[in-house]
Structure 1
Amino acid sequence: MKKQTVSLLVLLLATSGFFFSCGNTMNKNTGALEFDSIQVNETAHLFGDTAKPACNLVINFTYATQSSDVKLKDSLNTFFLSACFGEKYLTMKPEEAVKKYAEKYVSDYLKDLEPMYQKDEQEKEDDATMEAWYSYYKGIEGHVQLYLKNLLIYRINYNEYTGGAHGIYMATYLNMDLRTLSPIRLDDLFISDYNESLTDLLWNQLMADNKVTTRQELEDMGYATTGDLEPTENFYLSKEGITFYYNVYEIAPYVMGPIKITLPYDVMQHLLSDDCMVLNEVRNS
């Protein structure tokens, strides 16, 4: 799971670098963006038989519909499409991309699973077991979490079940500086050599959140047992502080769910850079 989560975040950041290079500076205003969403809830049964297992695809995709800067709108939508559905959809209009993605998901499910199901059915496998293993689900939601002056935070929730004990789910956050159309990274927010000090603050906040006084107590609870606790690029800005979001398995077992650690700006003041305009805007909002 950690590998999948990190891979998605790397894809997001790499893709954003492709579309939103530092030289692609937009107008200083935020573009007066307006948004709408496309919803899909589609179910397809194996062999078209409602008595057999099915796949279910749920999509709720937010995209920009209006802007005083058409280039800004189109560039953002291109990125949103790539981040939510993959690079093959980035040149399409939102409605077309969602339609094509849904069609491919259903087509792949039927093509891949119908032969296997037919074989298991002939071998008289247990019906309950077959229902569990062949019932697939995928959910993709892309939402604008915050749109404030020069800052846009886009959140992607991903949830998928392909048989087995449980599904996988994750949330990925991207903080965009609309002045330059570039993602905001930790290096933009903090002074140099911040990693060790910021890691200590994360441990301290996690101890405070769980009302314990030692790291060992946290580890006994399950924290930092599946991966090291360290600053993650999967974070989001808010008026209250910076929230670092760790998906399931990244630093704790699946049963503990995702871990959120919010550091108030005051405790990080000595580490924060004075040069990030967007950070100052959200702090003073």
Structure 2
Amino acid sequence: MFSIKYLILILLATNIFIACKPQLKSKNETHQTSDTLTYEIQNFSNEFGNCDSTTYLTDCARIELSFPKFINSNINSVADSLNSRILNYLLVPIYEKTPTSIQEKMDFFLNDYKGFLEESPNYKIEWYSEIFCNVIRNDSLLVVLDFSEVGYTGGAHPNSFQKFISINSQNGKIVRKADFIKDEKSLEKVAEKIFRTQKEIPDEESLKDNNYFWNEGKFYLNDNFAILDSGLVFFYNNYEIASYASGQTKLFLPNSAISEFIKKD
């Protein structure tokens, strides 16, 4: 029998879930510059259960993926490299199983939910997984990919993750910080000043005392960045430098502030 105690637990979990659900960016994000490599958007989705309900109190699991497939290039290996990198990201292990295709990834997700329902038949909260890859730069120098993922598979709140990858348009290789930054230590000093201004943290106060837990309280630039025409964007996911409640952190460094630390070639 469906007990009052169980109903209260479900309602509490659902209130937290709805309040915390992140909003995904539009899949139709405007390209930053004129495209030079041609691609088409691939959309996949599948679901199981009562997914027509207007509430999250339902036995439903759904998964959606949207990503570009590059279809031609003056250098065919570049398109192949881009497609390979995108699939490598999308087909990461799920529940200790490594999918070999998009269809298999969706099957793994839905089958895990079905197995959970067999153990907990009265469970009535929706699971979902939404994974998008947007092209935010595509020109003769770089292709920049923005991977965003949000999902809920039980617990107090959904989980989300965002990853940028900058790729050389001529050879298909990933661009690392050392490839274009000539003085990372000096760049980090400028970046920390911009970060402190953005977060309104005075120079005399430690980052740790302001609830940022960089290693030993020392600011650093991570490897999750996008190279844009206007500057650099560094992105820190939940729990990377702050608590979940503090949210994700995006740090934009305009060219006007960092040009002296960037290689000219």
TM-score, normalization by structure 1: 0.69
**CA RMSD between the two structures:** 3.0
Specify whether residues 225 and 150 from structure 1 end up closer, same or farther in structure 2 by C-alpha distance, changes over 3 A only: closer
Q: Does 1:261 align with 2:251?
A: yes
The one-character-per-residue Cα deviations of 1:36-89 (angstroms, maximum 9, x if unpaired) are 11223322128x9x8952211121122112334333222221221111223866
- Partner of 1:182: helix, strand, or coil? coil
Q: Does 1:73 align with 2:79?
A: yes
- State the alpha-carbon separation in 1 of the partners of residues 164 and 204 from structure 2: 27
Q: Does 1:115 align with 2:118?
A: yes
Instruction: Quote the residue 2:140 is aligned against.
Output: 149
Identity in percent: 20
- State the alpha-carbon separation in 2 of the partners of residues 200 and 69 from structure 1: 39
**Which range is displaced more, 224-233 or 264-273?**
224-233
1:72-221 alignment runs, 5 A limit: 72-86=78-92, 97-110=101-114, 112-118=115-121, 121=122, 130-132=123-125, 135-191=126-182, 194-214=183-203, 216=205, 219-221=208-210
Structure 1: tracts of 5 or more residues without a match: 1-30, 91-96, 122-129, 276-285
Structure 2: tracts of 5 or more residues without a match: 1-34
The one-character-per-residue Cα deviations of 1:185-217 (angstroms, maximum 9, x if unpaired) are 1111112xx343232222200122234432627
- Partner of 1:141: helix, strand, or coil? strand
- Partner of 1:262: helix, strand, or coil? strand
2:130 touches 2:151 (CA, 8 Å); kept in 1? Answer: yes
Candidates 215, 221, 229, aligned match of 1:231: 221
Residue 231 of structure 1 and its aligned partner are, at CA, apart by 0.9
Residue 228 of structure 1 and its aligned partner are, at CA, apart by 5.0
Candidates 35, 40, 57, aligned match of 2:63: 57
Specify whether residues 75 and 225 from structure 1 end up closer, same or farther in structure 2 by C-alpha distance, changes over 3 A only: closer
- State the alpha-carbon separation in 1 of the partners of residues 81 and 149 from structure 2: 22
- State the alpha-carbon separation in 1 of the partners of residues 225 and 242 from structure 2: 17
How many residues end up aligned between the 2 structures? Answer: 224
- State the alpha-carbon separation in 1 of the partners of residues 179 and 214 from structure 2: 29
- State the alpha-carbon separation in 1 of the partners of residues 92 and 241 from structure 2: 27
2:41 touches 2:68 (CA, 8 Å); kept in 1? Answer: yes
2:65 touches 2:130 (CA, 8 Å); kept in 1? Answer: yes
- State the alpha-carbon separation in 2 of the partners of residues 116 and 107 from structure 1: 13
2:45 touches 2:65 (CA, 8 Å); kept in 1? Answer: yes
Specify whether residues 148 and 216 from structure 1 end up closer, same or farther in structure 2 by C-alpha distance, changes over 3 A only: same
